[in-house]
Chains A and B, each alone.
Chain A
């Protein structure tokens, strides 16, 4: 178990470092990098323009930039955002709270909606309910995340509702399929034949069967919710990490985008690896 966790952590560290380097390279190669509108200010002297240029000199070589960034990060120094002219640590601290709230509440709400509908459809065992569940989840699957964000603005709904509606259809479809498979298992058919109540079958027999796969799905939905944060935060005007990533990419803000990429990669990998470790622990306990 310890080896598994260590291997996961090593793999996460490797991927995060590589992801950061790739994002730094992409920003460095992006057209428009190294152009600062302040340099065009006619009020600035040639010396000031030279000073402005030299302040970005460390970013010309990606490997040099990345090495010095990592050195600073080890000491808790994440650099300064060029676009927002603020220490990145402060920006991440302030903005991550907004994203955690939106993505967290959205995830929770999306899961509640999905599981409630999946349970109702499973308990009711009526084809009309099944069709309704499929139609509702199918309709939301067909709507782009950005449209849901626009609709939440139109109806003055909170941003987390858009995230919930993005997470809901995928969670519902997957959990409904798992429940349908679980209900076809011999021990559940036998339980039903013996006259056990539907609620009891669901709680005592179906849920333990699908539990581990739902944990894996939980890890994936964290990634879905984080991805949806960019359009939702950008269109709803919510000052979170998604909006920050959006601004950093548009402004070719190298230090900021590297930090945001590393943060998002880290959270996604930790969520997936956490789910993986929980599944492994449960399986080894069963064995």
Chain B
């Protein structure tokens, strides 16, 4: 493990621990309003100041990070499982199943990712409770984001299908779904892991895009999207530079993911 990867691991671990312990580290709840101090600059009481309606920005950053970092992997898990089911199974079965799955993934990939995501989210209910909005947002990410992974998995499963050990397993009488579960799926694990890890930063960024457009997690629940939405009212960086903290944190987390992923994908490629 090189220095950059170790550093990325440490940063991610630190961010995860601090955001998971938001209840302890945050000076107040994410929705608590300090009505006497709206839009206040950083102080001893509010480390990153308060937002327009007097909520502590540091607390919102911690809770928002927790939501994004917990639910993006959950969405990535859904999309990877769907990809394994559609791509892996179709690649293993081949023939008409593979053609059908390829056509289906082509259909999903024929629309730009952001276009598909934003349009579908905009069509779903917008006036819902914060908890439902979180579920809708991350379920959409999971249910729409499987196509690219399915294509990779179909190709890998197709290669495995004609491999010697699968042929031997078939010769010894292992057939059908059992062959897929016992012999093919375990060998798809490295590709599945890689696809899972690749999906997480993509979903974090996608949630941020949705949140900025007002289609993400509903208020008062914070997420990176809703935190970054605060940039909308800024006229310059010099006005209130502490407002940039969520963006900087996002860049740090995403860079850490990138550093880890570069090595991960290289290992899978090898």
Q: Which positions in A face B, CB cutoff 8 Å? A: 11, 14-16, 18-19, 22-23, 26-27, 30-32, 138-139, 141-147, 150-151, 154, 223-224, 226-231, 234-235, 242, 245-246, 249-250, 252, 257, 261, 264-265, 268-269
Contacts and interface: CB of A to CB of B under 8 A. Distances in A.
Contact of B115 (A15, A144, A245): A245
8 contacts: A11-B106, A19-B107, A26-B123, A138-B255, A223-B112, A227-B114, A242-B115, A249-B122
Contacts of B120: 26
Interface in B152-206: 205
Most chain A CB neighbours (cut-off 10 Å) among B112, B125, B232, B247: B112
Contacts, number: 113
B250 interface: yes
Interface of A is mostly: helix
A22 B144 CA distance: 13
Contacts of A141: 254, 258
Contacts of A252: 123
A102 to B, nearest CB: 14
Contacts of B115: 226-227, 229-230, 242, 245, 264
Given A138-B258, A265-B111, A249 B118 contact: yes
B231 A30 contact: no
B212 A147 contact: yes
B255 A27 contact: no
A147 B248 CA distance: 12
A165 B255 CA distance: 17
Contacts of A27: 123
Contacts of B254: 141-142
B209 A145 contact: yes
Contacts of A246: 118, 122, 213
